[in-house]
Structure 1
Amino acid sequence: MTHVHPSNADAAAGWDGPSGDIWTDNADRFDAGVARYLRPFLDAATIEPDAHVLDVGCGNGLVTREVARRAPRGEVTGVDLSTRMLDLARRRAAQEGLANIRFLQADAQVADLGEARYNRIVSRNGVMFFGDPVAAFTNLARSLAPGGRLVLLVWQEMADNPWFSAFRDAVAVGRDLPAPPPDGPGPFALGDPDRVRTLLTAAGFDAPELRSVREPTYYGPDVDAAHDYISAMQHGLLSELDEAARAEAHATLRAELQEHLGPDGVTYPSAMWIVTARRSAAGGR
């Protein structure tokens, strides 16, 4: 991997280690889980056939591939920290015959992404973990062509995403588990619209627009499938428990999932922002 900023060292160790393994092993489950958000996100990006696009935190590459299909005469670059996720992304792009994609293992906060190289930068749930978000978004703004646009899909605040607390509480088993900090790094670091506006304007973007999208997230066709998926996501917390407490946690989780089983499988309410921002005249400088 190219240079990783010290503020992102822990994130890099996780994503290029245990976290990356979990997300690679469950790639299709995650993509299915947030599938209802994909079309409005991509439509907001307005990808032109000859566009040059950067996908930040591309993970297993679903968004990268979808963008590449929308830009057949352009080029799409996917950037991520995880070796395993990038390997899977490359394999799937090759299997689908998409030759206008390249994947880079890099820390987008400090990597040389080129000067004014891209018409669009997109990210689905990939930019909430920067150690220094202003520095990261400044670097991204630098790589945008004048007038280019940043389009993000990010979780709204934790209170608007009850799945998070439900799963965390199910495996707590008497522990007082801290919530992720609202100012990050973490899944809800860009949930506050005022914080998003402050960060992006400080980084060289014009005032962003935020559009609320609310869709159910999907965790599996039945309780068994959902339990397997969520147990993998909560592996770290479950592994801290002794055998009896772990059995209690699994039983509590199953009961919680059963309450959300309906005709469409196990689903929970959720909410994301589609954030769009243009590079300002001095963006990235």
Structure 2
Amino acid sequence: MNHTPHASLMDEVYRHQRKIYDATRKYYLLGRDRLIDEMDPSPNARILEIACGTGRNLDLIDQRYPGRRLYGFDISSQMLETARAKLGNRAYLAQGDACAFEARTLFGTAEFDHIIMSYSLSMIPNWQVAIAEALRHLAPGGMLHLVDFGDQARLPIGFKSVLRAWLRKFHVSPRDDLDAVLQDLTAGRPLDMRHDYLFRNYAQIARIRAA
């Protein structure tokens, strides 16, 4: 793929962070394990993670649901280096852009039974386009699983401003209007959408099932 400005930025952000990413993020990327627990994929399910990062989620999915066909891509070659070392031949990995990808070209398959986007929307500038691209690659009856930062509305006063000032250092922008965007994207289409907040709105989780 072309090395876009965003790809270069992500490589710069994660060139060194990838080495400690999993150890540090487990304390504040909340809701990822709940997303995985709720998947319940069939034995022959095809599972894609968009912006798979270090491969942490795919690794856990393989442990929780062994034998499924796993796929992942990321815009950062640095993150993919870590993911390949972690996953070996347990997953098909490629470099790709969440906002413009053709899964058949990357993996030889165009549709997936489960697609995951875990704490990636807050780092993708054109995140609405990324969701639309994910929905385009859902198989009939497939499900898109989303988890990311929430609006922190039910947490103590001042928590939100401190958290977001810190997140900006890593080019992270929580998507407070995710629920509204998902309602617009799914309105009038054969899609069933559910959105919930977790941990007093610290995080948000959503599931969209295709008919």
* 1:1-285 matched pairs, under 5 angstroms: 2-3=1-2, 9-17=4-12, 19-34=13-28, 37-94=31-88, 99-114=89-104, 116-157=110-151, 159=153, 165-166=161-162, 186-198=172-184, 200-201=185-186, 206-214=191-199, 271-279=202-210
Q: Matched residue of 1:90: which SS?
A: helix
Q: Distance in 1 between matches of 2:94 and 2:188?
A: 23
Contact 2:114–2:142 (Cα < 8 Å) also in 1: yes
Deviation at 1:149, TM superposition (A): 0.4
Deviation at 1:11, TM superposition (A): 2.6
Amino acid at match of 1:142: R
Q: Matched residue of 1:165: which SS?
A: helix
Q: Distance in 2 between matches of 1:116 and 1:131?
A: 24
Deviation at 1:77, TM superposition (A): 1.0
Contact 1:138–1:203 (Cα < 8 Å) also in 2: no
1:169-213 CA distances to partner (integer Å, 9 max, x unpaired)?
6x8xxxxxxx97xxxx95312554223322x32796724201221
How many pairs are equivalent? Answer: 203
1:39-61 CA distances to partner (integer Å, 9 max, x unpaired)?
31112222333211001111111
Which blocks of at least 5 consecutive residues in structure 2 are unaligned?
none
Q: Distance in 2 between matches of 1:62 and 1:168?
A: 24
Q: Which has the larger radius of gyration?
A: 1
Amino acid at match of 2:203: M
Amino acid at match of 1:33: Y
- The 1:165/1:190 distance shift into structure 2, 3 A limit, reads closer
Q: Distance in 2 between matches of 1:128 and 1:202?
A: 23
Deviation at 1:129, TM superposition (A): 3.4
Contact 1:47–1:67 (Cα < 8 Å) also in 2: no
Deviation at 1:34, TM superposition (A): 3.5
- The 1:131/1:204 distance shift into structure 2, 3 A limit, reads farther
Which residue does the alignment assign to 1:251? Answer: none
Q: Distance in 2 between matches of 1:89 and 1:67?
A: 14
Q: Matched residue of 1:154: which SS?
A: strand
Q: Matched residue of 1:46: which SS?
A: coil
Identity over aligned pairs, percent: 20
Q: Distance in 2 between matches of 1:205 and 1:109?
A: 22
Q: Distance in 2 between matches of 1:116 and 1:147?
A: 14
Coordinate RMSD, CA, aligned: 3.1
Contact 2:102–2:110 (Cα < 8 Å) also in 1: no
| TM-score (norm. length: structure 1) | 0.61
Q: Matched residue of 1:16: which SS?
A: helix
Q: Distance in 1 between matches of 2:139 and 2:154?
A: 34
Which blocks of at least 5 consecutive residues in structure 1 are unaligned?
172-178, 216-269, 281-285
The farther-off stretch of 40-49 and 26-35 is 26-35
Q: Distance in 2 between matches of 1:119 and 1:143?
A: 9
